[in-house]
Structure 1
Amino acid sequence: MKLFNNLNDHIGFHARVRGDMMMASDSVKSLNYGEAWDYINTIAAHIQSGGISKGDRVAILAKNSVDNLCVFLACARIGAVVVGLNYRLAPAEVEFIASNADVEMLFFDKEFDELRGEYLRSKPCVCLDSAEPAPLLENWLQSPANLNEVEINGDDILFQMYTSGTTGLPKGVLVSHYNVLANTYQAPMTTGVGGRVGEVALVIAPTFHAVGLVGSLLGVIYGGSMIIHRDYDPVGMIETLAKERISTVAVIPVMLQFSLAMVPNIKDYDFSALHSINYGASPISETLLQQGMEAFGCDFIQGYGQTESTMALTFLTAEDHKKALAGRPELLRSCGRAVFGTEVKIVGDDGQELPLGEIGEIVAKGPQVMQGYWKNPEATAKTVADGWLHTGDAGRMDEEGYIYIQDRVKDMIISGGENIYPAEIENVLMAHSQIQDVSIIGVPDQKWGEIPLAVIVSGGQPELSAEELIEFCRGKLAGYKIPRKVEYLDALPRNPTGKVLKKDIRVMMAEKYPPIA
């Protein structure tokens, strides 16, 4: 057997040597490693008995739970590829992903039954939290089933996670066992902080996102324990950090902002077990960092990456954050330096590396780079060229190797930690009879960091109100993608080839939507 060959080797090892140690716990169920390994094998055997083989796609449409995690690990056990479905999407979006992925089986929470379209309803379904409208997982496992061992290699696909692109259609990112193992080794090598036996992590981020999923896998790879929250609760997060003696948690800055605002007596809580808070999706302000470090008394670490890089490409370490507060505040605008075993550089339109300080596209090469896009060789070849992942983000690098993101080449908007691609929204809005032309840009927002703004050309038609626009988008787009603000122009600025100049639109809107202080 090759060392570090697949995820399953790690869980099986922990079950043998520390079977009595708690692996994961939520409000319903708690399993130690020994119990979890038996449970995972039982689920895996039943999935196999349903006709699922290595390489088949199994979808999960559910909130965080011990059962959700164990179903994922059961699929990994037999080589089935998990497709995590974002329950915040509209039914049509879920249906597209499920059919595009060739999903053969679904595990879901009852509250998301309405998201199951015709395609998913035609497949075998198991409910994680109810005996209807499909068999309850617990009951489904009662019949006898035998597990057939399957050889799993490092380059076998572990999960297929969908991310939107400039075309507006989601693409299935193929992430292998080795991609995940590599990135979970790179993170502690770079930050000096990693999963340890006996430590307890709080899992809040949804596992249909890379941060939540890979963060959870990091815990089981290193033999740590996890407290799993179904949803993010500002007060519940604070209480759990203290009561459960949590060692580490991954959040987005807006979560910290909410929690600090909702718990005025935060000084009364004991966070002495907490050694680090990891955050991503957006930079942290100096004020929020100071408030957080004062309240929690722990280190802060920022990660930057994307689904195509499994999780992390760079880290702004705890030492970097301390430097920022000690006279180098500009570091807080950086996303850090390349992780161990990864090259990062800035290139121009011709693909050639640019001098330090010049702005170009951020590209990276390392063992965490995806295996490609599902059934999309053209997009794969464009995104990963000669081993280099083209992130679509524009940035610069300083003489110390710190990366500063300047803009998004793909015009992606990050709102509350969710990635939003303008083309997807524009495609929906262009179907409205009162919209002649439209461009979506991100504008600053105090609560979410960024929100989409619809800049519309009506072409002489009556102008739509924000309320009318929201109603038109309802059911066609996930709620967080729907523009809540609307502006009108006589015409969108375009270059000679007809491409909309979003940069010019941002300049036009800058006075009305200034940066958040």
Structure 2
Amino acid sequence: MRFKELKGRLRTVQRYVAAVPRMHFTESHRGLRARLELLADKQLGAGDYFWHTLERGQDHDKPLFYHLPPGGGEDDVVVYTLNNLRDQTERYARWYHNIGVRHADRVGIFTRDGMASFVHFQALNSLGAIPTVINPNMNPDTAAKYLERQDALGVVVDAEKLGPLIAGCNPAKPFKFVASQEEMHAAPPAGPLPAVYPYRHGDRDPILISHSSGTTGMPKAATFGHRQFFAGKRPRLFTIPSGPEDKMLLAFPASHSSGYSYMMLATLLGLPTLVMESQAGVVVAEAMRWWKPTVVTAFPITYAEIVALGAEPSVASHVTTWISTADASHEAHVRELVRLGRHRVGGSWRPGSRYLDGLGASEMGMALFLNIHGPNTNTYNRCVGYPEPIVQHAAVFDDDGAELGIGEVGYLAVRTPTVTLGYWGDQELTQKSIHKGYWLTGDVGYKDAKGRFYHYDRVTDVISTRRGPVYSLTLEEVIFKACRFVIDCAVVGAVDPVDPTEFEPIAVLRTIDSVTITADELLTSINKALRKAGRHEIAALVVASDNLQIPLGVTGKVLKREVRSAFTNLLLSDDLQGAEIARTRSEQFIIRQATNQLPESVNGLRGKNKSVPA
């Protein structure tokens, strides 16, 4: 090995090892030397990690993944070993090759079977093809249009969605093949494999197209590359607990890039993992009861439901680590979870666990900001922590593209090798997301004097009021803390009756069924808490019911654009059926200053700036 290359690899290892104290270094099924080799191996990528594991891993017949099918329980779990995965990957690859799938072909995967989705991912990559995975909750008509934009060769779909998907296809541009997941899974091994198998990927070869949550419209098709998608996994080789007694529960959708990410890590580290099909808090809590995981991974909505439903301490008795990504989690939920579980001090166990709160998005490959909470930490107030070591630089920009200083609110951006290769077939949108080599995350926030970042809102969710911008997430933070029985909350802007060109914040809530408080009482309580926190009061409150639900995206995020559309005229009209509504009795809303108030309007986001849409 040349000296310069060796020196470069050493610097890579040193950078991650230097971050280990903050990341809580742990032992692993694969020892320190093996993990350092993975860290330093620049040739290793998302397209060949599985074959690397087969070549260097041990215990190919040891159970690795435990798949819990929809509606199933402990007795219904299906076990997968490395050998099982290899055999199924090869069988799927033969099927695809026989039907004509070749290098760079896009193939849609639209199945509720998370383990099958993972096998499709590996099989298509072994042929150099590109899996474009779709969350099973997506509407089949939307899925058909989404795949059409990518000029997909074909699609494998659950039988129940086969008809609706075909109905949504453009008859002038049909798929070359459409197969049900059940048909393909039952097909016997047939046909040859390519002469070069598995395919050897180049650095920027696409290995996955994964859609965004669709919170701003038609889901965007983020493209991930061989080296780029794996870059974000390297730090996790040290951060994720993977000792001999560790087990993981995966409640990320297995068909999402986050699900693939942690399944890849589990494969590399030999970490036994229960793969869930449901992300509902009650289902996840029940599985935790008998699986007894030490590590739980899920989106914030799952944790919010677990907390709101009052999980018993016994459910989380073995948990040492909670891992979350996508939107930053709310303090009220994190504080409840870190009280549960256990952590080791010296040779004995103590009460309390840690919560790894990661801010990320589909386009980032992995979460790029990390805040580590524990039973004795107190870094909240929408703090998302420090950039991950893989991030070369993080910054905050104003409307004009100038970098802002400490405490100034603007647009978050990162420069990192983990960011998506771009949006498939949409070069214009890709270019609009890049500024001076930084990827604009679509978030609003600021940086403090210690280098920690804070997340206020999504750019599209900032509410333009007569008094300046209001950041919806800061209001939701207070609401969750004040009302522990709230499962989900969406603060959006409704047309201001005083000035119809502006908006006033309203809240739409989902509460646990046992709550008997009226909407008027709840509004009074919430506004009292908002005043105390120095926040803008809400002008009205809507309590969701069976007739009126908070719309969620396919990955569980609240679709605020739909909430805004549904309630934009709420302050102008009393006509809203199927919901309990409360409104303030005054047109004037009081903003009180408080010592703990976060900055509300600085620089590019000041006052009436229409570049920050309501």
Distance in 2 (CA, whole Å) between partners of 1:509 and 1:95 is 48
Residue 9 (structure 1) aligned with residue 48 (structure 2): yes
Residue 138 (structure 1) aligned with residue 183 (structure 2): no
Distance in 2 (CA, whole Å) between partners of 1:83 and 1:294 is 39
Q: Secondary structure at the residue paired with 1:237? A: helix
**Aligned ranges 1:455-474 → 2 under 5 Å:** none
Distance in 1 (CA, whole Å) between partners of 2:240 and 2:589 is 39
* Corresponding residue of 2:205: 156
Cα distance, 1:231–1:308 mapped onto 2, change above 3 Å: same
> Is 2:111–2:156's contact at 8 Å kept on the other side of the alignment?
yes
* Corresponding residue of 2:509: 445
Cα distance, 1:180–1:23 mapped onto 2, change above 3 Å: farther
**More divergent stretch after superposition (100-109 vs 439-448):** 439-448
Residue 237 (structure 1) aligned with residue 284 (structure 2): yes
> Is 1:64–1:228's contact at 8 Å kept on the other side of the alignment?
no
* Corresponding residue of 2:437: 387
* Corresponding residue of 2:66: 25
Distance in 1 (CA, whole Å) between partners of 2:227 and 2:297 is 22
> Is 1:204–1:228's contact at 8 Å kept on the other side of the alignment?
yes
Cα distance, 1:480–1:107 mapped onto 2, change above 3 Å: farther
Q: In the TM superposition, what is the alpha-carbon distance from 1:227 to its structure 2 partner?
A: 1.2
Question: Quick one: which of 301, 306, 310 aligns to 1:259?
Answer: 306
Q: In the TM superposition, what is the alpha-carbon distance from 1:365 to its structure 2 partner?
A: 0.5
Cα distance, 1:287–1:376 mapped onto 2, change above 3 Å: closer
Matched to 2:185, the amino acid is L
Distance in 2 (CA, whole Å) between partners of 1:23 and 1:376 is 38
Q: Secondary structure at the residue paired with 1:173? A: strand
Distance in 1 (CA, whole Å) between partners of 2:274 and 2:440 is 35
- CA shift digits 1:124-182 (9 cap, x unpaired): 23333x4xxxx24122x343433442221231111112237898343321111212211
* Corresponding residue of 2:83: 34
Residue 317 (structure 1) aligned with residue 360 (structure 2): no
Q: In the TM superposition, what is the alpha-carbon distance from 1:480 to its structure 2 partner?
A: 6.5
Distance in 2 (CA, whole Å) between partners of 1:361 and 1:4 is 34
Residue 126 (structure 1) aligned with residue 179 (structure 2): yes
Residue 290 (structure 1) aligned with residue 335 (structure 2): yes
For structure 1, the residue ranges without an aligned partner over 5 or more in a row are: 423-436, 449-465, 492-506, 512-517
Cα distance, 1:261–1:444 mapped onto 2, change above 3 Å: closer
- CA shift digits 1:211-247 (9 cap, x unpaired): 2232222222333232111213434423433433423
> Is 2:326–2:361's contact at 8 Å kept on the other side of the alignment?
no
Distance in 2 (CA, whole Å) between partners of 1:103 and 1:289 is 41
Q: In the TM superposition, what is the alpha-carbon distance from 1:411 to its structure 2 partner?
A: 2.9
**Aligned ranges 1:208-219 → 2 under 5 Å:** 208-219=255-266
Q: Secondary structure at the residue paired with 1:184? A: coil
> Is 1:23–1:31's contact at 8 Å kept on the other side of the alignment?
yes
Identity %: 19
Q: In the TM superposition, what is the alpha-carbon distance from 1:102 to its structure 2 partner?
A: 1.3
Question: Quick one: which of 398, 401, 405 aligns to 1:355?
Answer: 405
> Is 1:411–1:441's contact at 8 Å kept on the other side of the alignment?
no
Distance in 2 (CA, whole Å) between partners of 1:182 and 1:100 is 28
> Is 2:280–2:305's contact at 8 Å kept on the other side of the alignment?
no
Cα distance, 1:267–1:21 mapped onto 2, change above 3 Å: same
> Is 1:358–1:396's contact at 8 Å kept on the other side of the alignment?
yes
Distance in 1 (CA, whole Å) between partners of 2:430 and 2:228 is 16
* Corresponding residue of 2:150: 101
- CA shift digits 1:469-499 (9 cap, x unpaired): 989x99xxx99645495352799xxxxxxxx
* Corresponding residue of 2:529: none
Distance in 1 (CA, whole Å) between partners of 2:245 and 2:47 is 20
Matched to 1:222, the amino acid is L
TM-score by length of 2: 0.64
TM-score by length of 1: 0.74
- CA shift digits 1:299-322 (9 cap, x unpaired): 11100111111121101024xx45
Distance in 2 (CA, whole Å) between partners of 1:111 and 1:403 is 45
Question: Quick one: which of 69, 77, 87 aligns to 2:118?
Answer: 69
Distance in 2 (CA, whole Å) between partners of 1:201 and 1:485 is 39
Q: In the TM superposition, what is the alpha-carbon distance from 1:78 to its structure 2 partner?
A: 1.6
**More divergent stretch after superposition (13-22 vs 340-349):** 13-22
Distance in 1 (CA, whole Å) between partners of 2:264 and 2:130 is 15
Give RMSD over aligned pairs: 4.1
**Aligned ranges 1:176-191 → 2 under 5 Å:** 176-188=225-237
> Is 1:5–1:154's contact at 8 Å kept on the other side of the alignment?
no
Matched to 2:416, the amino acid is G
- CA shift digits 1:172-209 (9 cap, x unpaired): 211112122110113455xx335567743212221343
Cα distance, 1:438–1:85 mapped onto 2, change above 3 Å: farther
Distance in 1 (CA, whole Å) between partners of 2:64 and 2:151 is 32
Cα distance, 1:240–1:86 mapped onto 2, change above 3 Å: closer
* Corresponding residue of 2:94: 45
Question: Quick one: which of 564, 567, 575 aligns to 1:486?
Answer: 567
Distance in 2 (CA, whole Å) between partners of 1:8 and 1:487 is 46
* Corresponding residue of 2:363: 308
Cα distance, 1:441–1:23 mapped onto 2, change above 3 Å: farther
Residue 221 (structure 1) aligned with residue 268 (structure 2): yes
Q: In the TM superposition, what is the alpha-carbon distance from 1:285 to its structure 2 partner?
A: 4.2
**Aligned ranges 1:420-431 → 2 under 5 Å:** none
> Is 1:308–1:369's contact at 8 Å kept on the other side of the alignment?
yes
How many residues of Structure 1 are paired with residues of Structure 2 in the alignment? 447
Matched to 1:486, the amino acid is F
* Corresponding residue of 1:432: none
Cα distance, 1:107–1:408 mapped onto 2, change above 3 Å: same
Q: In the TM superposition, what is the alpha-carbon distance from 1:71 to its structure 2 partner?
A: 1.3
Matched to 1:377, the amino acid is Q
Cα distance, 1:4–1:68 mapped onto 2, change above 3 Å: same
Distance in 2 (CA, whole Å) between partners of 1:183 and 1:126 is 33
For structure 2, the residue ranges without an aligned partner over 5 or more in a row are: 2-40, 69-76, 343-352, 463-471, 477-485, 493-500, 513-543, 573-585, 591-614
Cα distance, 1:314–1:100 mapped onto 2, change above 3 Å: same
Matched to 1:410, the amino acid is T
Cα distance, 1:258–1:226 mapped onto 2, change above 3 Å: same
Q: Secondary structure at the residue paired with 1:241? A: helix
- CA shift digits 1:327-346 (9 cap, x unpaired): x3x52521111001211111
Distance in 2 (CA, whole Å) between partners of 1:196 and 1:102 is 44
Distance in 2 (CA, whole Å) between partners of 1:94 and 1:439 is 34
